[in-house]
Each structure stands twice: as C-alpha cells, then as structure tokens.
C-alpha cells in the first residue's frame, strides 16, 4: 500500500521568507513542499517535515521558462567570476529543521530574568521588520579539505562540519573538567538530553560521556582529552593529555579536543602536546580540534588569536576553536583550517545570537557554544535559534524573535 505523506508541523520554523530583491522564490533557490504547502531555503531533495520530494521548479510552462532564463544568466556570471572553491563564497541557506522527529519544548530552568516576556512584543515586531531582508552573503568560510584526507578522517570531519552547508553547531558541555559543577550544568544528563537532537556534535569529557549520554545517540562526540588543572589551582595552563587514543576509540570519538595556551607559562608543553596528539590521532583517522585558550593574561584580540590559531593549524589541528573578536576576518583569513567560535561567558540571548551571526559572517564554520545555551532560561529555544543562524538564513534579529516565540510556547 502506498504510504501517505503528511505534514507533521515540523516545518513551522523552517519556512523561508519571500525574497524581497525582486527574485521569485525558485529563482532564489527555494524549494517547495507540496504536502506542507511551504517553501524552504534548502539543498535537500526531500522535505524534512514529511519526506515529500521537494519541487525545484514552478508548475507552469511560463514560470519554468522564466527560471531557465535566470539560470542561464547566472551561469554566465558565475563562470566569469570563476570562484575556485564554492565554499569560499557562500549564501547563508536553509533554516535547518532539528534532527529527529519529536518537538519537545524547552524545560524552563531556574528563572534568571523576566525580561524575555516584556521583550517578546518588541522582538516579534523586529522579526517582522527584518524578515524582509535578503539572504546574507558570507565570504571566505574555510571548510575542511575532505578530498585530501583518508576516508575515516574525512568521514569524521563530515560528521562535525556538515558538508551540505559547510557549517557546524557544536554543543560544549566539557566545562566541568576544570570548573567542577558549573552553574546550570550540575546534572549533565538532564542538560544534554533535550539539546542532543539540535546539535551537530557534542563536546565533552569521557566522564560525562560515559555517565550522562545514552550510547544509542547518533550525535558525534568531540572528546576533550586535555586537562590536569583546576580553577582553584596554581596555573590553568598546565595541561596534559589525559586520555589515551585507545580509550578515545573505545568511546567512538569523532574528534579529540585539546587546549593550547599560547603565551602562557606552559605554552611549550601544551603546543608540543598538540603536535603529538595530532600524530597519534592521524594514525587512526581521528581529527583533532585545538582550543586556543584565553585567560586573564592572554589576549583576546585579532593579533593574539591569529597567532594562536595559526600555531594550532601549523601543528596539524584539523579544526581550531577560538573566540570572536574585532577584525575577526584577520583570524579566519590567516588560519588554513576551519575555525569554530566558542560562546564564552553568559551574555543576553540577543547578544549571543549576534555573536553567532557575526562569527559566521567573519568566516567561521559555526559555533561551539555552551553557557549561552544551557545557562539560558530556555535552552531548547536558544539552541534552535542559534541553529537557525548556523544552518539557516536567520540574522540575529530574526533568530531572537524565534527564541522569544519558542520560549513563550515552550
């Protein structure tokens, strides 16, 4: 019997807005689901809500001819521009529906502020006002060179930085490795469970992975393998590699994460650790994510972060995690591997969404965000809003409107 495809209402926050630059929806690359009756900004062949094959062309002959004429014009322009790597100039695409099918609401945690409710009306207005903006053009996002990698390494990299759009949303929950029971991460299993389906990968320690993540998950694990110091100890930069490659393999790690402390007392030790780790991990096809740690004494400007990121890449790191800063393009522009941006300490949701948007505009592949998601009063709403920027077309205003709407209904 033929199965009947039906809209499960999962498409609600993934609908694409109508282009306002005079182009038709199909001209702008949108695809239509006839079952859900909506357009998406997506490269997917099938609707993520109901599974129907998406329509890429208008039904009418006249519409098809108009579209063909537009394509032939843009093919000529593209050939003239001759961009060597499509990943280098990219239009933000496809508001990404969550992974999996169920749509749990956000479980409210201890109330931090009542400002969200008062801001809701203003944000809805802002959402309407900004919905008319055309998609943002982002340049110089450096994706991984999968073609130059062995199969296992390329496959693991592709599970972290999604090849469809060259973007990554990593959820960081590794803070306990030097902070102990961080505020609102006291019970990692309860924090992680509702967020798991919305992130592309999870960054964590082996202790949290074994105790707090169901082994049935399909979400890739980015395993922190460095540590050794605590927030109350003498020097946070005194880190070593604390997990063997065998244990990382047992844990089915998709990548290993290690911090380097450039300019600190333990600079040499941490950078040499990175070099050795890359050598070992490479043998087993496991990518390494280097975290450029910052601290009281370590800078957070483009000069320092460019230095730290480049050193990490020179040691062979496959991805570098760093902080957003002014002139961020200088950091991404001088680092030959993909950069992912850490969220940093908790700031208002609107600001964290702006940080996400600016990071991607500045050439990052995405964010590795922790506190700004699970320290929010509405973690699920927040991760979905972040996701709508990383994998979608939302700017910070629209994502904030989405956050407020989801927070209200969740």
Residue ranges in contact with ligand 5RP by CB under 6 A: 172, 174-175, 203, 259, 291, 293, 342-344, 368-372
Residue with Cβ nearer ligand 5RP (175 or 391)? 175
The helix/strand/coil state of 97 is: coil
Catalytic residue among 90, 98, 321, 346: 321
The DSSP code for 183 is T
Work out how close the CB of 273 gets to ligand 5RP at its nearest, in angstroms, rounded to a whole number. Answer: 15
In this structure, are residues 352 and 344 in contact, taking their beta carbons and an 8 Å threshold?
no
In this structure, are residues 241 and 258 in contact, taking their beta carbons and an 8 Å threshold?
yes
Query: Which residue's CB comes closest to ligand 5RP?
Result: 343
Work out how close the CB of 190 gets to ligand 5RP at its nearest, in angstroms, rounded to a whole number. Answer: 17
Residue with Cβ nearer ligand 5RP (95 or 227)? 227
| Residue 15 designated active-site | no
Work out how close the CB of 240 gets to ligand 5RP at its nearest, in angstroms, rounded to a whole number. Answer: 15
How far is the C-alpha of 28 from the C-alpha of 23, rounded, in Å? 6
The tokens for 193 are 């469970």
Q: Which of 44, 41, 33 is nearest to 134 (CA)?
A: 41
Work out how close the CB of 259 gets to ligand 5RP at its nearest, in angstroms, rounded to a whole number. Answer: 6
Residue with Cβ nearer ligand 5RP (299 or 344)? 344
Q: Which of 266, 265, 264, 246 is nearest to 256 (CA)?
A: 246
How far is the C-alpha of 70 from the C-alpha of 323, rounded, in Å? 40
**Ramachandran sector of residue 260 (left: φ over 0; alpha: ψ -120 to 50; beta: rest):** beta
Work out how close the CB of 195 gets to ligand 5RP at its nearest, in angstroms, rounded to a whole number. Answer: 13
**What H or E segment, with its residue span, contains residue 341?**
strand 339-342
80, β-bridge pairs = none
Residue with Cβ nearer ligand 5RP (54 or 213)? 213
How far is the C-alpha of 323 from the C-alpha of 292, rounded, in Å? 8
Longest dimension (CA), the chain: 73
Residue with Cβ nearer ligand 5RP (54 or 390)? 390
Active site residues: 321
């Amino acid at each position: 019997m033929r199965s009947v495809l039906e809209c499960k209402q999962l498409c609600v926050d993934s609908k694409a807005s109508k282009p306002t630059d005079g182009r038709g929806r199909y001209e702008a690359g949108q695809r239509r689901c006839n079952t859900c009756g909506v357009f998406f900004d997506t490269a997917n062949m099938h609707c993520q809500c109901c599974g129907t094959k998406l329509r890429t062309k208008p039904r009418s002959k006249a519409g098809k001819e108009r579209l063909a004429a537009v394509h032939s014009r843009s093919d000529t322009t593209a050939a003239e521009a001759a961009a060597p790597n499509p990943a280098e100039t990219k239009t933000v695409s496809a508001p990404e529906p969550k992974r999996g099918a169920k749509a749990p609401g956000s479980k409210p945690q201890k109330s931090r502020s009542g400002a969200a409710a008062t801001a809701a009306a203003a944000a809805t207005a802002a959402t309407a006002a900004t919905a008319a903006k055309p998609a943002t053009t982002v340049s110089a996002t450096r994706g991984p060179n999968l073609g130059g990698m062995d199969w296992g390494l390329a496959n693991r990299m592709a599970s972290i930085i999604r090849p469809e759009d060259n973007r990554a949303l990593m959820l960081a929950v590794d803070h306990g490795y030097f902070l102990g029971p961080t505020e609102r991460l006291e019970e990692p299993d309860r924090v992680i469970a509702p967020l798991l389906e919305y992130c592309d990968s999870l960054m964590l320690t082996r202790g949290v992975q074994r105790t707090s993540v169901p082994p049935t998950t399909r979400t890739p694990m980015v395993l922190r393998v460095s540590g050794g110091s605590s927030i109350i100890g003498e020097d946070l930069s005194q880190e070593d590699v604390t997990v063997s490659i065998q244990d990382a393999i047992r844990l089915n790690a998709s990548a290993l994460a290690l911090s380097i402390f450039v300019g600190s007392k333990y600079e040499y030790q941490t950078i040499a650790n990175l070099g050795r780790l890359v050598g070992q991990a490479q043998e087993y096809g496991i990518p390494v994510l280097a975290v450029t740690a910052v601290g009281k004494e370590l800078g957070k400007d483009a000069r320092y972060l460019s230095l730290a990121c480049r050193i990490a890449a020179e040691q062979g790191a496959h991805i570098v995690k760093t902080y957003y800063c002014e002139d961020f393009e200088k950091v991404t522009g001088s680092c030959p591997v993909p950069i992912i941006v850490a969220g940093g300490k908790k700031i208002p949701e609107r600001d964290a969404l702006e940080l996400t948007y600016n990071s991607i505009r500045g050439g990052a592949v995405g964010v590795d965000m922790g506190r700004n998601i699970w320290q929010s009063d509405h973690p699920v709403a927040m991760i979905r809003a972040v996701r709508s920027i990383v994998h979608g077309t939302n700017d910070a205003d629209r994502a904030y409107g989405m956050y407020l709407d989801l927070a209200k209904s969740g």
